[in-house]
Structure 1
Amino acid sequence: MNDVLRDRIRGAVLGQAIGDALGAPTEGMTRAAIRAAHGRVTGFLSDDPAGTDDTEYAALTARILLTHGPGLTPEDVSAAWERTLTGQEGGFAGGGFSEMEAIHNLARGLRAPATGTDNHEQWSDGSAMRVAPIGAYCAGDPAEAARLAGIDAQVSHARDGIWCGQAVAAAVAAATVTDDWRAVVDAGLAALPADSWSARLAARAVAVATGPGDAEARYDELERRIPILHYPWADVAPEATALAFGVFAVVEGDYVEAVLGGVNIGRDADTIAAMAGAMAGALRGAGAIPAAWSSRITELRGSCIRATAGVRLTELADEIADAVAHREEQQA
């Protein structure tokens, strides 16, 4: 494996986690509220920043994928979630509804895909938030990334919840092998069923993001035209995924600005920044992430998933890169 691809795989994994940690304090806020409280956020708002459930579920996803590889099945994911999560002592700090209901369903004997359909959070962004490792593992193969993301998602999601995870995974896979931010967006949009809520909203976001006006005007338009304000929560997958593609496109895939766009747009800011960060990190590489950020988000705390405590992100990214290199050697 060449050094550039290894750096991009690191960029995807670290980029997701750092975006998550940067966006955590502005989650649930509007752009106006963020400006009133903080001005424009340009770095960590906490003296002790950490990733949320987004990054810990991404680490769990990576571990399951590294164990089972391309032969991953919904039963593999169900078994791993049951083994890791159903017996966990203590609360799942910050855990989303979709994941908590999936864990409950597993505990009462269901398996994927029933665990992802027998709940009311089929379309949350809980799948899309955790698939950066899948995209990195499938470097250069968006279709395979979408396939594996669809298998992973079934434990907790259905329909748009699955499709949005597939879009982010496909975009990350494409980003690892291109320098063209448009190719990243195109790969993500291509993974969405054409006549779906997710596809329509993502296409609208990209059209706004690449339309007239300066960056701030386009962020204003994204906030006006994308959020589903009649729903009391901000974790709707079509909304958050569309905003992630939108902020990524506004800044043409620049890592710092894509992540800060997600942080400052509010709504499900940690997840939006995590998704945009995964795509931009894969596109620009870990070298594009400021050292002042990457030096502070290095090891997971296990706040939501106890089993992820102590996971070191760079080591996890390198395990994924080693698996990719091994697969390349086998195919040569």
Structure 2
Amino acid sequence: MTTQDRARGALLGLAAGDALGAPTEGMTLPAIRERFGRVTGFLSDDAAGTDDTEYAVLCALGLLRHGREITSDDVADLWMATVGEQQGGFYGAGFSEMVAIANLRSGLRPPVSGSDSYETWSDGAAMRVAPVGILCSGDPAQAARIAAVDASVSHSRDGVYAAQAVAAAVAAALTGTTPAEVVAAGVAALPVDSWSARLVARALDIAASSGSPDEELYAEISLFHYPWWDTAPEAVALALGLFSAYGADFEQAVLAGVNIGRDSDTIAAVIGALAGALHGAQAIPPAWRDQVTKVRGRCVTATAGTDLVELADRLRELGTTG
């Protein structure tokens, strides 16, 4: 397995998990089982990556332009030139991104554009930073640093911390051999006394003590008291817990995220990025890869037509030379 195959696996895995999880987003685990039994593939011939995939492409474009020296102002400028100028689209866009865009349009700059929001702790940054892990392959600390730069445009505190964990875990997965190594890198990127760290620790304890932890993770980690299902601590805790339990098998791991419900497109996208980076693109079922390779641009129109294989190759090349 080559580093190129792993880099491709990270982006294709993210997009596949995103597209597979989109129909179950916002559903409860019991409702998914009642309606579908168990989701094992795409539920629509028109399945495609959602805002998770398209904002990840936007993140990658900033990295390709500025490399490891990227600043939050660089990210803000890219957002203003793309989503800031966009009219229409934004299908399925998250609140955190839309508030950040409104803040940027009004003249706010990061980190204020990310902190002046009621959704600072959403998973909208965690969903998009897998490209940072590709750029920083084998260097989780650097990945966490750059993820914070990107995330601060739209998030603060746990919204940023969760993004750091995902980017660090992807960076570790690209050179790692076991799910445990990957999870450890993600945990190390979280501030010890943070909401995210505490919830992730609880999820990993559940995963370690149960051979089939899905129901317990759903019951114990889900923040049912909050009106939305997109909190970053919850989504990343569920993703790392499920990846810890099932990450030795790409397909089983991603489908666990799809069938858990809650913010299942983001949960499955994060798992897909980690498992794809660890096992390579060849571990992804061909039908899944083929369905998501070309980005639709339904939310972020500037990403329409992007080939994720080509994008992954460019990020990997920059990571080895820049």
Q: Same fold per TM (> 0.5)?
A: yes
**Deviation readout 1:216-248 (Å, 9 max, x if unpaired):** xx1111011001001111000000000000110
Distance apart, 1:128 and its partner CA: 0.3
Equivalent residue for 1:260?
A: 255
Q: Aligned partners of 1:138, 1:99: CA distance in 2, in Å?
A: 24
| Residue pair 1:129, 1:274 contacting (<8 A) in 2 also | yes
- In the alignment, which of 188, 196, 199 is matched to residue 197 of structure 2? 199
Q: Aligned partners of 2:251, 2:85: CA distance in 1, in Å?
A: 38
Name whichever of 291-300 and 248-257 sits farther off. 248-257
Q: Aligned partners of 2:156, 2:247: CA distance in 1, in Å?
A: 30
1:219 maps to amino acid: D
Equivalent residue for 2:219?
A: 224
Equivalent residue for 2:93?
A: 95
1:73 maps to amino acid: T
Distance apart, 1:301 and its partner CA: 1.0
Q: Does 1:235 align with 2:230?
A: yes
Q: Aligned partners of 2:247, 2:306: CA distance in 1, in Å?
A: 31
Q: Does 1:68 align with 2:66?
A: yes
Equivalent residue for 1:134?
A: 132
| Residue pair 1:248, 1:254 contacting (<8 A) in 2 also | no
Partner SS, residue 296 of structure 1 = helix
Equivalent residue for 2:57?
A: 59
Distance apart, 1:197 and its partner CA: 0.4
Q: TM-score, normalised by structure 1?
A: 0.96
Name whichever of 167-176 and 82-91 sits farther off. 82-91
Equivalent residue for 2:104?
A: 106
- In the alignment, which of 21, 24, 33 is matched to residue 22 of structure 2? 24
Question: What does 1:42-191 correspond to in 2, within 5 Å?
Answer: 42-191=40-189
| Residue pair 1:20, 1:51 contacting (<8 A) in 2 also | yes
| Residue pair 1:153, 1:165 contacting (<8 A) in 2 also | yes
Equivalent residue for 2:308?
A: 313
Distance apart, 1:85 and its partner CA: 1.2
Distance apart, 1:255 and its partner CA: 1.0
Q: Aligned partners of 1:26, 1:155: CA distance in 2, in Å?
A: 28
2:74 maps to amino acid: D
Q: TM-score, normalised by structure 2?
A: 0.99
Partner SS, residue 163 of structure 2 = helix
Which runs of no fewer than 5 residues in structure 1 stay unpaired?
328-332
Q: Aligned partners of 1:210, 1:234: CA distance in 2, in Å?
A: 24
2:239 maps to amino acid: A
Q: Does 1:278 align with 2:282?
A: no
Paired residues, number: 322
Identity of aligned residues (%): 59
2:319 maps to amino acid: V
Q: Aligned partners of 1:252, 1:129: CA distance in 2, in Å?
A: 18
Name whichever of 317-326 and 8-17 sits farther off. 317-326
2:111 maps to amino acid: P
Q: Aligned partners of 1:144, 1:150: CA distance in 2, in Å?
A: 10
Q: Aligned partners of 2:104, 2:315: CA distance in 1, in Å?
A: 27
- Root mean square deviation, CA, Å: 0.9
1:92 maps to amino acid: F
Q: Aligned partners of 1:48, 1:167: CA distance in 2, in Å?
A: 31
| Residue pair 1:256, 1:289 contacting (<8 A) in 2 also | yes
Q: Aligned partners of 1:187, 1:267: CA distance in 2, in Å?
A: 25
**Deviation readout 1:107-161 (Å, 9 max, x if unpaired):** 0001110100111110000000001111111100000000000000000000000
Partner SS, residue 292 of structure 2 = coil
Q: Aligned partners of 1:35, 1:132: CA distance in 2, in Å?
A: 30
| Residue pair 1:57, 1:130 contacting (<8 A) in 2 also | yes
Q: Aligned partners of 2:67, 2:287: CA distance in 1, in Å?
A: 34
